[in-house]
Amino acid sequence: MKSLTVSIPIIILIFLCSLTLQSHAAIVEVTVIGFSFSPNSVTIYEGDTVTWKNLFYAHTTTSGTSCTPDGKWDSSYVDTFSRIFNEAGTYPYFCIAHCNHGMTGVIIVIKDNIVPVITGFTLPATSDSLTVSIISFTATDNAGVTGYMVTESSNPPSATAAGWSNTPQTTYAFNSEGTKTLFAWAKDAAGNVSAGKSAAVIIALNHMGDINSDLTVNLQDAIIVLQILTRLNPDVDYSKYLASGADVDGDNKMGFSEVIYILQKVAGFR
Ligand SMILES: [Ca+2]
Ligand SMILES: [Ca+2]
Ligand SMILES: [Ca+2]
């Protein structure tokens, strides 16, 4: 791979941008020092921006070779000028006032063909909740990771799929219990998608108090038990609820133990 010819402060700037603006391409600075552009040659990726600073209204950045403008850009006499480079290629430029004194530079734009790599993805071994915390999710890329995604499918998502996030996901909500596998993905600004990295978790819910087996414990469960106790709803199927694992005290009955447990859970005492 080609090495990037940029100065240390610019590397730091790119690093800071990658931390705070992960969905954005890099911004690279070129400054005027005396009668020269510094750095004189800059290599960037498609979609990156070059900002020329300290032109001092005495210099220009004008695209072209042999002191002849080619019409791609011309800052005219300003202090600061920026341009986004979306297409790979070599872009020579000069200062229109001082080209004959050798005040020239070049921007080399390369296509990013290197896919991101998932460097870490871990889930807890077990979970008693359908919403599972993601312990770690990290990725790297030569030009910067711009998107993160987790899926239950092993099929790689496209770069334009719904569900990409600028920051790594920290939780994932499953629909059912069992042994589950999640796949982590990362993409870069050029649309390269990483290989997936998988992790597994066993979801085993505590069913106590979940009378109607809808995977949540709420007032509806308490109402059903009260209907059973008061015989206010003769259609309630006792056996179905006993078989659901909802029997809190293991006495094979739906009773006030279940009502109290459910109300405590709803109230946040459990
Ligand atoms: Ca890349
Ligand atoms: Ca329930
Ligand atoms: Ca019971």
**Residues whose beta carbons lie less than 5 angstroms from ion ligand 3:** 247, 249, 251, 253, 257
Query: pLDDT, tens digit, for every residue of 164-202?
Result: 999 999 999 999 999 999 999 999 989 999 999 999 999
> Would 228 be classed as within a structural domain?
yes
Say yes or no to pLDDT of 93 above 80: yes
Domain boundary among 85, 110, 135: 110
DSSP letter at 99 equals: G
Number of domain units in the chain: 3
Task: Give the whole-angstrom CA distance, residue 242 versus residue 54.
Answer: 78
Q: For residue 76, what are the domain limits?
A: 8-110
Whether 82 and 152 map to the same domain: the answer is no
pLDDT at 19 over 70: no
Q: How much distance in Å is there from the Cα of 230 to the middle of ligand 1?
A: 66
* 214 domain-assigned: no
Same domain? 198 vs 223 = no
Ligand nearest to the CA of 244: 2
Whether the CB-CB separation of 111 and 154 falls below 8 Å is answered with no
Considering the domain architecture, whether residues 101 and 15 belong to the same structural domain is answered as yes
How many angstroms separate the Cα of 71 from the Cα of each of 12, 68, 75, 199?
32, 9, 11, 53
Domain boundary among the residues 172, 203, 234 is at 203
Answer whether residue 260 is part of any domain: yes
Ligand nearest, relative to CA of residue 256: 3
Domain shared by 17 and 65, yes or no? yes
Q: How many helices (H) and strands (E) does the chain have?
A: 4, 17
Residue 190 backbone phi and psi in degrees, to 5: -85, -5
pTM of the predicted structure, to 2 decimals: 0.65
CA of 267 to the centre of ligand 3 (A): 20
Q: Hey, is 182 helix, strand or coil?
A: strand
Q: Ligand 2 mean position to 207 CA, how many Å?
A: 9
Neighbours of 263 (CB within 10 A): 16
